[in-house]
Amino acid sequence: MINEATRLNVEEGQDDRLLKPLGGYLGYSNEWRELAQVISRDIFSSDPNVRWDDIIGLDNAKRIMKEAVVYPIKYPQLFTGILSPWKGLLLYGPPGTGKTLLAKAVATECNTTFFNISASSIVSKWRGDSEKLVRVLFELARFHAPSTIFLDELESLMSQRGSSGGGTEHEGSRRMKTELLVQMDGLAKTDDLVFLLAASNLPWELDHAMLRRLEKRILVDLPTEEAREAMFKHHLPPLITPESHGLDLRAEIDYKLLAGATQGYSGSDIRLVAKEAAMTPVRKVFQVLEQLAEAEEPHIALDPVTTQDVQSAIAHTKPSARLLTEKYKKWQQEYESV
Ligand code: ADP
């Protein structure tokens, strides 16, 4: 699946390609360069490295993403006139269900320039200047098209509730949102292959000005039982080693039973459960290692993870978004575009 170490390394590396002045761009200045530097360092991701097959389940969401973004990038000649592509897509649903993975898969499979930002972190870091950052971001995206911009936590720009964050924060959100709307209108008017994939866990907090520009809306739902089973198999795969003579050392893991016991869990919850369960045999080894005399050469052999280990991890984990399921479904009926 995704090689975490590679991903981090690549993301940390800065790609100077983005810092070259854009041809014919008159507003190039120190401020512009500074913002482009921030985008190159914190937002641009040179190799998101997620394949469609890395994403378990979500067949419907994958199909819509291919139709809406992948094919228009691959075969632009087919998507003209009435078929001109949607430029704004909303991925909504519970947290940890694969929205980021979907955006990365589009970027990987289509080899687009990929920008990955969280609306709330931009506003908290850049406050009143967040709108300038958005402007430069879209400029870079257009120049380096085809591009996909993944904008996470979109609802953080929308909350009009109270003044808990203080005046500046609210002002920063408002400005960034206005700039975003302007930029999205700009995208819709051109043939540039720049796609905004916005994600939200709370789509009902988005206002109509924003929703109108995110015409394609895709529910990224909690995994089905079948998908949960595949996830457990992925994280805790059957263990067949040369010494096991073709026997599965983890044969005692009952994947079906675990899938049945995790209704309402997100993909990210299941990953946590599997990780916690995989720690159980490691903890036992730690106990032995602690008792060894210093000079002794440790001989480490881990017990296989058992169904019981996983069940006990499940008992200690609460699914994060179960209560909202009905609300997503209701919102889908009202606002889904397909
Ligand atoms: P979000 O919907 O909040 O953007 P992410 O896409 O970041 O969620 O998923 C978080 C993590 O959960 C992923 O890195 C992955 O390990 C796991 N995960 C969630 N959904 C899936 C899925 N459908 N297939 C495979 N892994 C998943």
Rounded to the nearest angstrom, the distance between the alpha carbon of 337 and the centre of ligand 1 is 23
Based on the fold, state whether residues 142 and 232 are members of the same structural domain. no
Q: Which one is predicted more confidently, 185 or 17? A: 185
Q: Which one is predicted more confidently, 209 or 34? A: 209
Per-residue confidence (pLDDT) for residue 10, from 0 to 100: 37
Ligand 1 atom at minimum distance from 94 CA: 2
Based on the fold, state whether residues 110 and 133 are members of the same structural domain. yes
What pTM did the predictor assign? 0.84
- Contact 94 CB / ligand 1 (< 6 Å): no
Rounded to the nearest angstrom, the distance between the alpha carbon of 31 and the centre of ligand 1 is 36
Q: How many domains does the chain have?
A: 2
Rounded to the nearest angstrom, the distance between the alpha carbon of 164 and the centre of ligand 1 is 30
Based on the fold, state whether residues 191 and 311 are members of the same structural domain. no
Per-residue confidence (pLDDT) for residue 125, from 0 to 100: 79
Q: What ranges in 127-166 are assigned the alpha helix state H? A: 130-143
Number of other CB atoms surrounding residue 26 within 10 Å: 6
For residue range 77-119, list pLDDT tens digits in order.
898 888 888 889 999 999 999 999 999 999 999 888 899 988 8
Confidence band, pLDDT 50/70/90 cuts, at residue 249: low
Based on the fold, state whether residues 231 and 218 are members of the same structural domain. no
| Residue 158 token pair | 């929308």
Residue 186's CATH number: 3.40.50.300
Confidence band, pLDDT 50/70/90 cuts, at residue 127: confident
- Residue 7 belongs to a domain: no
Per-residue confidence (pLDDT) for residue 95, from 0 to 100: 93
Based on the fold, state whether residues 92 and 212 are members of the same structural domain. yes
Residue 307's CATH number: 1.10.8.60
Look at 61-70, 276-285, 295-304, 322-331 and tell me which has the smallest mean pLDDT: 295-304
Per-residue confidence (pLDDT) for residue 158, from 0 to 100: 76
Per-residue confidence (pLDDT) for residue 29, from 0 to 100: 73
Per-residue confidence (pLDDT) for residue 242, from 0 to 100: 60
Per-residue confidence (pLDDT) for residue 163, from 0 to 100: 45
Evaluate if residue 2 carries a pLDDT over 90. no
- Residue 200 belongs to a domain: yes
- Contact 112 CB / ligand 1 (< 6 Å): no
What does the pLDDT average to over 44-58?
Answer: 90
- Residue 46 belongs to a domain: yes
Per-residue confidence (pLDDT) for residue 159, from 0 to 100: 56
The vertex-142 CA angle with 9 and 14, nearest 5°, equals: 20
Rounded to the nearest angstrom, the distance between the alpha carbon of 278 and the centre of ligand 1 is 19
Count of CA atoms in the C-beta half-sphere (13 A) of 276 = 17
- Residue 163 belongs to a domain: yes
Based on the fold, state whether residues 101 and 53 are members of the same structural domain. yes
Based on the fold, state whether residues 155 and 266 are members of the same structural domain. no
Based on the fold, state whether residues 75 and 106 are members of the same structural domain. yes
- Contact 122 CB / ligand 1 (< 6 Å): no
Based on the fold, state whether residues 111 and 165 are members of the same structural domain. yes
- Contact 274 CB / ligand 1 (< 6 Å): no
- Residue 145 belongs to a domain: yes
- Contact 187 CB / ligand 1 (< 6 Å): no
Based on the fold, state whether residues 209 and 287 are members of the same structural domain. no
Please give the distance of CA 54 from its chain centroid, rounded to a whole number: 13
What one-character-per-residue DSSP string does 282-335 give?
A: HHHHHHHHHHS-TTSPP---PPPP-HHHHHHHHHT---SSGGGHHHHHHHHHHH
Q: Residues with Cβ < 8 Å from 104, sequence gap 6 or more? A: 45, 48, 49, 50, 114, 116, 150
Confidence band, pLDDT 50/70/90 cuts, at residue 17: low
What residue numbers bound the domain in which 314 lies? Answer: 225-320
- Residue 198 belongs to a domain: yes
Rounded to the nearest angstrom, the distance between the alpha carbon of 102 and the centre of ligand 1 is 9
Rounded to the nearest angstrom, the distance between the alpha carbon of 271 and the centre of ligand 1 is 9
- Residue 6 belongs to a domain: no
Per-residue confidence (pLDDT) for residue 130, from 0 to 100: 84
Based on the fold, state whether residues 55 and 132 are members of the same structural domain. yes
Give yes or no for a contact between 239 and 250, defined as CB atoms under 8 angstroms apart: yes
Based on the fold, state whether residues 113 and 236 are members of the same structural domain. no
How many Å apart are CA 158 and CA 244, to the nearest integer? 56
For residue range 285-321, list pLDDT tens digits in order.
887 777 776 667 767 777 888 899 999 999 998 887 7
- Residue 16 belongs to a domain: no
- Contact 56 CB / ligand 1 (< 6 Å): yes
